[in-house]
Structure 1
Amino acid sequence: VRSTQRLRSVRVTLRMRGRTVATGQASSLSGRKRVSLRVRRGLRRGTALLRLTAVDPSGKRINVSRRVRLTR
């Protein structure tokens, strides 16, 4: 994960077919950082939605979503 400004309360979720399959979090993010995800359900091949939620320095909540392809 990469950021151009300092963020706090960073949460990452991976969703497939409307269900959360993995989650991760970091207390802060500035520049580049690796966030490990804890798998809650079995992962399958296919397309998933990776969603990042954080709070910027002014207190505004930021949401970013990207589609990712899982292969195995």
Structure 2
Amino acid sequence: MENYGTEIDGLDYVLARKVFRKFEALNLSYIRDEIDGLLAYLDELFGEENMNECKDYLKMLKKLV
């Protein structure tokens, strides 16, 4: 049986594709200041080397504002 990723990779995918995508429907100017805190929390909770899909998506959102 091949290993296609870890549980954290799966969580990263679901958060980035299903949960954080809903931020696009919000007024991004309201959440812009909160993105840095969320990025720091992801690093603290999962480690700096994990959750890259979520981090990339959140950084892209921050650039849109």
Kindly indicate whether structure 1 or structure 2 has the higher relative contact order, using CA contacts under 8 Å at least 6 residues apart: 2
Report the structure, 1 or 2, having the larger helix content: 2
Higher strand share: 1
TM-score, structure 2 as length reference: 0.23
